[in-house]
Amino acid sequence: MKINFHNKNIWKLISLGLLTTMFFTFNQCVVQQYDAPVVKNNNEVVDSYHDGPVTGGGTLPPGGSGEFQETGATEVARLITDVGVKDFEAIYVTFQVLTGVDPLEQNVIRNSFSELKTQLPFDASIKSFNTAHQIATIKLASEFCNTLFDRSAYYNIFFTNFNIGQSPNNVLDPNGKIIMINDFINRFWGENVQPVAVEQVAIEQMSQLIDALLVDENMGSSTTTRKVAKGVCTSLLASAPVTTL
């Protein structure tokens, strides 16, 4: 059975790895900071921020930015989050820079972006991010990754340590899989940028994805190696470390 990246089963595999990676990433990077009530010596509980806005003598919550200092700021306004989502233009430019694919030279990329941009995030609010945005992000990432590994001018200079020109028999043993995945992580996420636990989860999930993509494939063909690379590329390119601020 040949791999078809428009096949729903392949998308399930890609999405599984992506969603798992995103779960652990958001678990690491989203922080909710509230101000804690203060208990005085007479056992009186005083919440100096909620009971008195800054302009009325109140104090900012620990780690607060001071963004919401107006009188009568709501509880929601006092919630501080440390993560946002790139909008459609930022995602498009980020994918260009990370893959090295120039949309000006690739009609399929430009056309896909034109079709998908209204489905991509339109602002940086994590609250408005939804499933439709994630699906559109995966689709756009897939187009970049397909183009990247369909053209030798791109893929021959993409990797630092992994040899994309070899067959799976030669380069996708357990150690080779880790080399491929680490090259993707270092290129897309940055070297030693994410917590070790996040990278380890990504390596484990992407290794499982590689194994699934190799089922019934020609292990003696470098074309198969590039097909596998497309799947890993799509998952990691569309993941939270790339698409969040």
Q: For residues 181 and 211, is the Cβ–Cβ distance under 8 A?
A: no
Is residue 87 situated within a structural domain?
yes
What phi, psi does 40 have (nearest 5°)? -85, 175
The two tokens of residue 234 are: 């799509």
Distance CA 241, CA 220 (A): 33
Nearest to 227 by CA among 173, 180, 179: 180
Q: Does 114 share its domain with 102?
A: yes
Q: Does 203 share its domain with 167?
A: yes
Q: Does 94 share its domain with 22?
A: yes
The two tokens of residue 57 are: 């003598």
Half-sphere CA count of 119, side-chain side, radius 13 A: 15
Distance CA 189, CA 237 (A): 9
Q: Does 75 share its domain with 176?
A: no
pLDDT digits (tens, 9 = 90+) for 140-189: 999 999 999 999 999 999 999 999 999 999 999 999 999 999 999 999 99
What phi, psi does 138 have (nearest 5°)? -65, -45
**79 CB contacts (<8 Å, ≥6 apart)?**
32, 33, 34
pLDDT of residue 210: 95
Q: Which helix (H) or strand (E) holds 46?
A: strand 45-46
Is residue 101 situated within a structural domain?
yes
pLDDT of residue 82: 54
Distance CA 18, CA 25 (A): 10
CA distances 82 to 26, 117, 156, 206, 222, Å, are 10, 25, 37, 27, 42
Is residue 2 situated within a structural domain?
no
Q: Does 209 share its domain with 199?
A: yes
Look up residue 127 and give its DSSP letter.
G
Q: What's the mean per-residue pLDDT of the chain?
A: 78
Q: Does 12 share its domain with 94?
A: yes
Q: Does 111 share its domain with 227?
A: yes
Report residue 11's pLDDT band, with 50, 70 and 90 as the boundaries: low
The two tokens of residue 184 are: 């993707």
Distance CA 31, CA 104 (A): 39
Q: For residues 21 and 202, is the Cβ–Cβ distance under 8 A?
A: yes
Residue 76 lies in domain: 32-82
pLDDT digits (tens, 9 = 90+) for 96-138: 999 999 998 899 999 999 999 999 999 888 888 888 999 999 9
Is residue 3 situated within a structural domain?
no
